[in-house]
Amino acid sequence: MAKRFRAPRDLTVVAIPIYFGTIAVEHLWLRRRAARQGGTAGDYERSDTIASLSMGVGSLVVPLVTARLLRPFTPGRGRLGKAVIGVAAAAAALTTVADVVVRRLDEDPPPEASPSASTTGRDVARKVAAVGGVTTVVCGGVAMATFWSSRTALERFWRRRFLPSLGTGPLALAAAVAGWDFIYYWNHRFMHQSRYMWALHVVHHSSEHYNLSTALRQPVADSLNVAVPYGALCLVGIPPDLVMRARDLNLLYQYWIHTETIGRLGPAEAVLNTPSHHRVHHGSNRLYLDRNHGSIL
């Protein structure tokens, strides 16, 4: 019987005291600088910081709850999988019909009908289309995300690997980190180009202040994400525990680059994703929108 994969301790959770400690230090430093030189976009604002910290905690807790809640709706595995697909399909069909009715009434209202009757029919059709559209997106999104998650689990890819294990040494870890960074780049780029994925990622860009607390402003609905699977690294012999460790290291690295306190870093700018690079990524200048999607590199 194959041994079930157990994820290693999450280093991003272990580092929570470091997050709060460095945020406090940056806040004090920025406050003293503001007293001397005036405020900047990196200064902390109470409600904004509370929102960022709340999202950070929520991004850790909510997935633990939703994973259990959504499991029965997983197509092919959960007892309600077929039902959620059926509801999504029926809602999509109903929405399409209602939308066609609205368009025809708008373009060519029936002459024998009174204006009030035509308006009532149009309003009903619009309400049906609105409710049906939301139902389609929610049920379809749940079905798609849960199915994708179940089919791209680390242990599933590991059992189907086509290269032997690389082991757990430094070179294997380096390969895992580089591989995670490569996949992250494309997933992050898709998040900025796909409306569905942007709807999940936009919360990270919702703050008007740019400081270390912004790094913790993460989506709580990440369970609904459909992305290039990081588990694909297992196919080339990278063990699942190293894939998870690469995740931790990538996320820890990304934390410190969310700041205006650190300036340019000389030669490192040519190789690494630095705070100055990531400030461009979070900027609002149209010339630089949707740039620098990397994690470490």
Whether 3 has a pLDDT exceeding 70, the answer reads: no
User: What percent of the chain is modeled with pLDDT above 70?
Assistant: 94
Whether 123 has a pLDDT exceeding 70, the answer reads: yes
Q: Of the candidates 260, 221, 268, which has an alpha carbon nearest to the alpha carbon of residue 30?
A: 260
Overall average pLDDT of the 138-163 stretch: 93
CA 275/CA 288 separation, integer angstroms: 15
Amino acid at 131: V
Confidence of residue 111 (pLDDT cuts 50, 70, 90): low
Sign of the alpha-carbon torsion through 188, 189, 192, 195: negative
The pLDDT tens digits of the residues spanning 271-291 come to 999 999 999 999 888 887 888
The full set of domain ranges for the chain reads 1-66+163-297, 74-151
More confident site: 40 or 91: 91
What is the model's pLDDT at position 139?
94
Confidence of residue 117 (pLDDT cuts 50, 70, 90): low
Burial class (CB in 10 A: 0-12, 13-18, 19+), 258: buried
- H helix or E strand, kind and range, residue 21: helix 16-37
Tokens of 255: 């934390």
Overall pTM surpassing 0.85 (yes/no): yes
Residues in contact with 107: Cβ distance below 8 Å, sequence separation at least 6, in sequence order: none
Whether 292 has a pLDDT exceeding 80, the answer reads: yes
The pLDDT tens digits of the residues spanning 167-221 come to 999 999 999 999 999 999 999 999 999 998 999 999 999 998 999 999 999 998 8
Confidence of residue 116 (pLDDT cuts 50, 70, 90): low
Whether 1 has a pLDDT exceeding 50, the answer reads: no
Q: What is the DSSP letter of 155?
A: H
Of 50-54, 123-127, 262-266, the range with the lowest mean pLDDT is 123-127
What is the model's pLDDT at position 109?
62
Whether 118 has a pLDDT exceeding 60, the answer reads: no
What is the model's pLDDT at position 246?
97
Residues in contact with 278: Cβ distance below 8 Å, sequence separation at least 6, in sequence order: 254, 257, 258, 292
The pLDDT tens digits of the residues spanning 51-104 come to 999 999 999 888 888 888 899 999 998 999 999 999 999 999 999 999 998 888
What is the model's pLDDT at position 106?
76
What is the model's pLDDT at position 276?
94
- H helix or E strand, kind and range, residue 123: helix 115-151
What is the model's pLDDT at position 66?
87
Q: What is the DSSP letter of 211?
A: S
Whether 114 has a pLDDT exceeding 80, the answer reads: no
